[in-house]
A and B are shown apart, each in its own frame.
Chain A
Amino acid sequence: MIALVFAILVAVLMGSATYLLLQRNPVRMVIGLGLFTHAVNLLVFSTSVSHRGQPPIVVDKAAFNGDISQFVDPLPQALILTAIVISFGIVAFLIALLHRRNSLEAVESCTDRADDPFAMEPAATLEAVEEDYEWLEDIVLKRELRKPKGRRK
């Protein structure tokens, strides 16, 4: 019975995640990814809670004579603990990326090409290209690199 509840929950979460992922809005996409990872965590979790059991802790190994089969499997919980950390980190990074994207001035040109994997570079004018590489140049850095070795400390 409880397995069915978990199955339905996972299905609902995955369905809504898929719906959100197919939207054009990047914020919805991030929310969709969050839901998706949670659905999977729940799926992994459901492999250990199919019946009411005991915590798998044995205090006195020598005197223990209980039934091991009544123990709840602790491994899936360890697994999702790892998975939660990983997915949390990635979603946080994605949000940071999204923030950076929104704060860039050229938002318009970003969104135009966002969904076209075959988009060509726009016809690069001299100034545009130069501006793109301006950032790579760091005059202070160059000056320091040129300094004779003895004087750098």
Chain B
Amino acid sequence: MNINANWLAAPVVIPLLFAASSLLMATRVNLRQMRIQRNLALIASVLNLGVALLLLYTTVIQDQRMVLHAGLWQAPFGITLVADGLSAIMLTLTAVLMVTIVLYAIGTLDQREGLNFHPLLLFLLMGVNGAFLAGDLFNLYVFFEVLLMASFVLLSLGGRPGQVNGGMRYVVLNLLASTVFLTTAGVVYGTLGTLNLAHLAVRMEAAPLTLRIIVAGMLLIAYGSKAGLFPLFFWLPASYHTPHPAVTAIFGGLLTKVGIYALFRIFPLIFPDLLRDWQPLLLGIAALTMLAGVFGAMAVNTIRRVLSFHIISQVGYMVMGLGLAASGNQLAIGFGLAAGIFYIMHHMIVKTALLMAGGAAELTMGTGQLKEGYLGGLVKRFPLLAAIFFLAAFSLAGIPPSSGFVSKLGLLQAALDSQQWMIAAVSLLVSLLTLMSMVRLWQKGFAGKQYKAVLPTPRRPIYGITIAPIMILVVISLGMGIFSDTFIKWSQVAADQVIDRAGYIQAVAPSDLIEPVSLDH
């Protein structure tokens, strides 16, 4: 089966169309309008999932790359959309998360649903999908901004004091990172005369080392700050616990991973030599990110703050995969990268499930406070929610047979195989500390004595529709652990495609008609 490349536009166009049409309903806040918006969001996310699975089938199972030259403008001149295994995997995971979050929002969302929550969610989806498909640096920037703009509004939707404060920090730090990104795009265009990734990969080889170091360093800063890498992660714990739990869940699952995706895409393609030379730097950043995240999680005291810090420590594992990508593995070429991709898959699913479950507990109890006297005894009150939280938490900590165990084992194997003892030791230590932190969450929040609810009566009962999406995600996580060979095979295909630079350049086929701008004008 060979599908038309025009399908590549669908993940961007579908959310855009549905978001725009549901904005037309937003004349005034009433129940009927909310229902229409909700149904439109549900339809759009299911359609998007279908398209993502189609792309996944073509790129991963059939091992192909898909390229769309918009308006038939050849590569360096027009807008290019490219999908390979990594993009398709990310698109599919995003689509799965989006369906579950729309369901979860039906169960948990309050008045904020009337403030155009669903159109914003669809704009976020559009930005994320576009970033995964973008084939040039400037479009990557634009889609980053689309998703950031939607996330700014989602984060501060409601305008509580905490949200406004967290939102300010989030907006300022992300705008700075975007500006660094745009500066890099300007420097690249001014010196190499192109922005297309495949074309850049060709031209960067001949560029002087200083230029390569400047561009790679600035991109590392820009993406690292979006991904929440050490030492640029402070915006994340400052803001992620403030919005509605449904918003936190989708942010925790998606946003930092877009930065990680950009690193996975840019570094092996454009800077293969720097990826090798900077291995100690990348592994150092990875180790410090893991440690900072896990120690931060021990210092804070509400469910969502703890989970936000764990996002940071988990992002460290993914960068560890990238750092190990360049080393000569005996297991398979690019096994480190494949382990990193598998880790992303596991993390997106499990982290969203955890944030959803924690958020549901927080909403019913009226607080997420872990100190003595607030939460406690949730096992007896909501046994099903507690069971799901337990499974997700222990998947995050890496207990077999969950996906967390397999993904951590893969990274550890890759580290030992390339004889990086330090990072292997750090990853084991952080794994242990994560387990401790999860046990603390369990003991303080779910096990133990029941306290009187902080609020006189539970404000938000836990409906079946709140639990169902969390259950879906937990089942996917367990499935990824039990049938891990299939998923590892897929990540290996994706990793091979990422590392195969010649194949990417050939698929996009940039014509080299325009001379690079000379460096001496």
Interface residue ranges, A against B (CB under 8 Å): 3, 21, 26, 29, 33, 36-37, 40, 43-44, 46-47, 50-51, 73, 75-76, 79, 82-83, 86-87, 89-90, 93-94, 97-98, 100-101, 104, 106, 109-110, 113-114, 117-118, 120-121, 124, 126, 129-130, 132-133, 135-138, 141, 144-145, 152
Contact = CB atoms under 8 A, between A and B. Distances in A.
A129 B186 contact: no
Nearest to B368: A121
B175 A33 contact: yes
Contacts of A109: 161
A91 B403 CA distance: 41
B160 A132 contact: yes
Nearest to B148: A90
Given A26-B168, A109-B161, A76 B189 contact: yes
Contacts, number: 136
Contact of B156 (A46, A97, A110): A97
Contacts of B460: 136
Given A47-B517, A83-B182, A120 B300 contact: yes
Q: Do most interface residues of chain B lie in helix, strand or loop, or is the interface mixed?
A: helix
A132 B158 CA distance: 12
Given A47-B190, A124-B367, A82 B142 contact: yes
Contact of A117 (B159, B176, B237, B455): B237
B110 interface: yes
What 3 pairs between A and B have smallest CB-CB spacing? Answer: A47-B190, A44-B186, A117-B238
Contact of B165 (A29, A93, A114): A114
A83 B165 CA distance: 26
A120 B301 contact: yes
B145 interface: yes
Given A21-B176, A73-B517, A133-B455, 12 more contacts: A40-B179, A93-B149, A94-B168, A94-B172, A94-B175, A100-B156, A114-B165, A117-B169, A124-B454, A126-B454, A137-B110, A152-B32
Nearest to B517: A47
Interface in B157-191: 158-161, 164-165, 167-169, 171-172, 175-176, 178-179, 182-183, 185-187, 189-190
Given A33-B175, A97-B156, A113-B165, A141 B182 contact: no
A136 B172 contact: no
20 contacts: A33-B175, A43-B186, A43-B190, A47-B186, A73-B517, A83-B141, A86-B145, A101-B165, A101-B168, A113-B165, A117-B169, A117-B234, A118-B300, A120-B300, A121-B369, A124-B374, A129-B367, A129-B454, A133-B459, A136-B459
Given A40-B182, A93-B171, A101-B164, A141 B153 contact: no
A119 B105 CA distance: 28
B302 interface: yes
B153 to A, nearest CB: 7
Contacts of A141: 31, 111
Contacts of A144: 31
Contact of B161 (A73, A86, A106): A106
B401 interface: no
Nearest to B153: A93
Given A117-B238, A121-B302, A144-B31, A136 B179 contact: no
B196 to A, nearest CB: 11
Contacts of A3: 521
A21 B180 CA distance: 14
Contacts of A98: 168
Nearest to A137: B459
B299 interface: yes
Contacts of A40: 179, 182-183, 186
A87 B152 CA distance: 13
A30 to B, nearest CB: 8
A79 B190 contact: no
B510 interface: no
B312 to A, nearest CB: 12
B454 A90 contact: no
B521 A51 contact: yes
